[in-house]
Amino acid sequence: MGLTSNTVLALAVLAAVAFFAATIWLWPRLAARRPRAVIGRVGLLLATQLALFASLGLAANKSFLFYGSWADLLGQEQEMGVVVDHSADSKDIKVVSTQRPDVPGGTRPAAAGQIQKVVVAGEKSGITSPAYVYLPPEYFQPAYAKKTFPAAVVLTGYPGTAENLLKGLKYPRTAYQQAKDGKMQPMILVMLRPTVAPPQDTECVDIPGGPRTETFFADDLPAAVSETYRVGTQPRNWGFMGNSTGGYCALKIALHHPDRYAAGAGLSAYYKAAEDVTTGDLFHGNKKARNRADLLWSLDHLPQGKSSFLVTTSRHGEGNLKGTLGFIGKVKAPARVSSITLDSGGHNFNTWNREIAPALVWLSGRLRAA
C-alpha cells in the first residue's frame, strides 16, 4: 500500500478511532495507582496520539504530496536505476514508460495527449535526472505532423517530487483544458523537481566541485528535449516556470540565460539562493557567485536580456511580497515583467492551483513554435 493511498489513510484513521475508544472503555480499569495501571494509561494515551498524528500527517501528505512514496519519506530511492548509454549516436533522453493524462479522450494520444516518464542525461553537466514529458494531443494528430511546439520546463519546490506536478498541481490537465478552450497554444511540458542531485538542495547553481545544476537546466535539458521531440532550439521556443524553489529557479535561469529561455514564471518564488543544512556550502566563499544567485542584485548589476518574467504573491499569507515588489521595480527594458497578486493565499498547493492556469496562458503568449 502506497504512502498516498486511500487505504493507508483509512487504516490510520480507524486505528486512531479504535485507540480512542479503547482509552475510554479501559480507563476505569486502569484508574488505580499500581505500576501496571499507570503504564497502561500512558500506553493508551501515546498510542492514541501517535495514531492521530499519523492520520493528520497522511492526510496532509495526500493533499499536498510532500512525499510520493515510503522510500521518498525515508530518504531512499525506490526504483532501480536506468542505464543510459552515451555512445556517439545515442540520445540524451530515454523513455521509460508512458501514461495517459487525467483528461477526457480515453487512451488515444491524439485525443488526450500522453505523459512520458523519461531519464535525461546531461552531456555538459554529467547529471542524470528523471522527468515527465507531457505531449499535447496535437503532437499526435496528422495535421500537426510536421509542426514544432513550444516547450516549458516546469519545476516543483524542494523537497517535492515530480509527481506533485501531475497529481497535486495538475499541470497536464490544466494545459490540456486551456488549449482546448483556445486560451493558449498547445505546449510540451517537461516536468521535474529542482533536486536533480538528491538529497542536496542545489538551488539551481553550479556548485564548485559539486553538481552543475545550472548547466543542466540552462544547456543540457533544452538541448536533449529539442533533439528528442519536435521543439525548436531558439529562446522564443522555450519557457521556464515553477513554484517556491522551482519558481526561484525559473526566474534565475531565465534571467541569466536569455539566450536559452524567453520567459520565466515564478509562483511564490523567493529571490535569493537559500543556504542552510539542505543546501550545504553552495558557493565555497565565492562572493561573486553568491551575489549572482541573488536575483535582486543581478537585476541591479548585470545586463538584462529580452526575457519576460511573471511573479506571483499575495497581500496576506505569502512571505515574498516585499521581494516580489522589489523584483518588479528592478526589471528594466528590454526585459519585461508581469505579476499576479492575490488578496490572500499561503505557500501551498491551493494557492498555486489558482495561479497555474493564468501563468500557463501568460507563458504561452511569450513563446513561439520554431
Q: Is residue 201 located within the same domain as residue 295? A: yes
pLDDT band at 370 (very low <50, low <70, confident <90, very high): confident
- Per the structure, the complete domain to which residue 28 belongs is given by 6-64
Q: Is residue 95 located within the same domain as residue 58? A: no
CATH number at 312 reads 3.40.50.1820
Q: Is residue 129 located within the same domain as residue 184? A: yes
Q: Is residue 235 located within the same domain as residue 331? A: yes
Task: Show the CA angle centred on residue 245, arms to residues 215 and 221, nearest 5°.
Answer: 30
| 3-state secondary structure at position 272 | strand
pLDDT band at 120 (very low <50, low <70, confident <90, very high): very high
Residue appearing with cell numbers 539551481:
204
| β-pair partners for 133 | 116, 190
Q: Is residue 45 part of a domain?
A: yes
Share of the chain above pLDDT 90, in %: 64
Q: Is 86's pLDDT higher than 50?
A: no
Give, for 308, the enclosing helix (H) or strand (E).
strand 308-316
Q: Is 87's pLDDT higher than 50?
A: no
Q: Is residue 25 part of a domain?
A: yes
pLDDT of residue 66: 59
Q: Is residue 193 located within the same domain as residue 246? A: yes
Copy the grid coordinates of residue 270.
523567493
Q: Is residue 168 located within the same domain as residue 241? A: yes
Comparing 86 with 355, which gets the higher pLDDT?
Answer: 355
Decide if 289 contacts 336 (C-beta within 8 A): no
Say what the pTM is.
0.79
Alpha helix ranges (H) inside 154-197:
163-167, 171-180
Q: Is residue 128 part of a domain?
A: yes
Q: Is residue 91 located within the same domain as residue 185? A: yes
Q: Is residue 112 located within the same domain as residue 43? A: no
For the chain, what is the domain count? 2
Q: Is residue 57 located within the same domain as residue 93? A: no
| β-pair partners for 310 | 265, 338
pLDDT band at 324 (very low <50, low <70, confident <90, very high): very high
Q: Is residue 78 part of a domain?
A: no
pLDDT band at 91 (very low <50, low <70, confident <90, very high): low
pLDDT band at 313 (very low <50, low <70, confident <90, very high): very high
Q: Is residue 303 part of a domain?
A: yes
Q: Is residue 74 part of a domain?
A: no
145-160 pLDDT, tens digit per residue, is: 999 999 999 999 998 8
Comparing 363 with 105, which gets the higher pLDDT?
Answer: 363
Domain boundary, last residue among 64, 79, 102 = 64
Q: Is residue 178 located within the same domain as residue 44? A: no
Q: Is residue 247 located within the same domain as residue 178? A: yes
Q: Is residue 103 part of a domain?
A: yes
- Alpha-carbon distance of 349 to 343, in angstroms, equals 16
Q: Is residue 60 part of a domain?
A: yes
- Alpha-carbon distance of 178 to 182, in angstroms, equals 6
Q: Is residue 38 located within the same domain as residue 110? A: no
Helices and strands of the chain, counted as H and E runs: 13, 9
Number of Cβ atoms within 10 Å of the Cβ of 14: 12
